[in-house]
Structure 1
Amino acid sequence: MFDTDDLVQLVTESGERRTHPDFSPYVDDIDLPALRGLYEDLVVVRRIDAEATALQRQGELGLWAPLLGQEAAQVGSARALASDDFVFASYREHGVAYCRGVDPTHMLRFWRGSTHSGWNPFEYKMTTPAIIVGSQALHATGYGMGMQFDGATGAVITYFGDGATSQGDISEAFGFAASFAAPVVFFCQNNQWAISEPVSLQSPVGIAARGRGFGVPSVRVDGNDVLAVIAVTRAALERARDGAGPTLIEAVTYRMGPHTTSDDPTRYRPASLDEEWTTKDPLDRIRALLDAEDAVDEDYLAQIKAQADTTAAALRRGCLETVEPVPMSLFDNVYAEPHPLVDEERRRYAAYLDTLQGSH
């Protein structure tokens, strides 16, 4: 099931549903109401991303990492998770955070520079953004091994991009997870570009093959097919919970926008490639499937638009109304208990601030 390079696809680009001998059974429960719910997720997540991008362009955020085009990979994998599964994210998983119940306003705090975090990871069973590329895979592996030692149930999933597979942290995580059969799902969003470098430069072989080299069973899935992503992720999580060890999922998708809002993809990416992937848009695909099933009407579309508008308005309002932190809060929550070195740094910084106030 997990040792083939065939691309798993359950919904074609034109919206036709396919069957797969191994993975179709994992989504037999997804009926038309569930599909409509998934489409709503995709639309709202895209709107969150668009609103946050606009806020950054207007100077309200320092930076933003858009996910345009990757909605199905994130929504599909997140909706496959159980409530006690733990997510170790990179910096682009806004869609996963939404599906885990994180207030979209809290997603912006980190990017606005208002906090070091954004939300309590243990409340949502999901870490906050990790900018150090690849580090989260080791954290996830360690957490999974800890679950084993504690006799805990559940599984761990960690997200990273194609470029991160060139980091040593990913290789080390694969090695540890395979050796100790850690209950970890490695989810690579292969969006074809690591900033300005194509995935072909990251690896002369497919990314899924890299996992197998470490003894991690691997699968390639159409990352723009939300049903296929759910199925493959459910199967991988099942393996993890059953004690069968880690799995690598390579979700083949496409970053339709910039790497971050400080990037200009037109400088290195041909427009023809964007046009090619536009025909594979994950939202259009599910909309076409729903249209074919006569499951779309004006009331349904108006309801989704209203939900997206409400979410975007709350996101903007929450961003603009953010109470910025006072300077001395920099030292809060560095350690769980008081620490003499932090106390000393706090005193010195307070004295420094006093000199600035005295100069005015």
Structure 2
Amino acid sequence: MTPNALNFSGGPGALPATVLDETRDAIVALPETGRSVLGMSHRSAWFLGLLDEAERNIRALLGLPERYAISFLQGGSSLLFATIPMNFATRAFAPPEYVNSGYWSRRASAEAQRTAACRIAWDGAPTGFSELPALQQLAVAPNAAYLHYVSNETVEGLQFGDGEARSAVPLIADMSSDFLSRPLAAERFAMIYAHAQKNLGPAGVTVALIDRALLERIPPNLPHMLDLRTQIEHRSNYNTPPVFAIYVLTLVTRWLRNEIGGLAAMQRINEAKAQRLYGTLDAMREVVKVHAAAPWRSRMNAAFTFGDARLDRAFIACANARGMAGLEGHRSLGGLRASLYNAVTLEAVDVLCETLIEFGRRHA
């Protein structure tokens, strides 16, 4: 098994083998143009066609209604942490509300507070970010500008179920680490955004799905690059976009459509991978602790520890010797983390689980 197949990194994550092969060839020469993708103009007919296909593929995979605009942005989710309140937290509404369920949602709310007043609707800090709330049961002001949450916390290994995505006010979700990993009831959301480097491709592009009704709230005189209408009006081509990242993202959407067979099939694969890994960890519960409480465990990221930093480091060394990479826990939590993004295969998870079992027997 190749090193690329054994990439369990929290991001940038693994890419499908066929996408890597096509990308390698395109760096030398695209089949359609005979020129390197790295030198293709963002004003070329080829790239305009690529933008059209990327949008069509995402709409088809999600069954996305036409009322949603799709835009390919730069700056990652971190830039949107600021631009979302700049665009939508207007004085006509009560302050937006935020769910602080882990490292990245706390980053989002902290950045929002630098831009506009906002309220924390729920905070998981008292339980060490090991569980999640029911969104529809939160005491949110009925005239709040929006409710923001992170659908999957990569650091702590927590994930909301799609059924939790209900709110009486406009719902905005950062889905950076589980977008296109399962079917999605997109019509429940006012906005969904996701940077690419988990399930969609390399870093450099962020996908945003925005209900056009929300755009009416944007105040005048925002800087053009921070006004979300700008990229929508210019079809993601206002300034030079990340052509290469959008190209790879498009290849990934083709892979999901043609090789995987859609998001329901992708979900079944992801569930099988997560069941295999968590089943192994639970069988080792006397020597391994999973951070997230069972009802909220993520299918994308499993955060766990042997309870001893020396053993965690020893396991990483053992895994690295067998070709695995990216199993270090996030710097804020420590321990270990295995990310099971779309391109990680069940065979790769089997290798990880076998290594865990053998290591546990040796060091328990």
TM-score normalised by structure 2 residue count:
0.27
TM-score normalised by structure 1 residue count:
0.27
Of Structure 1 and Structure 2, which has the larger fraction of its residues in helix?
1
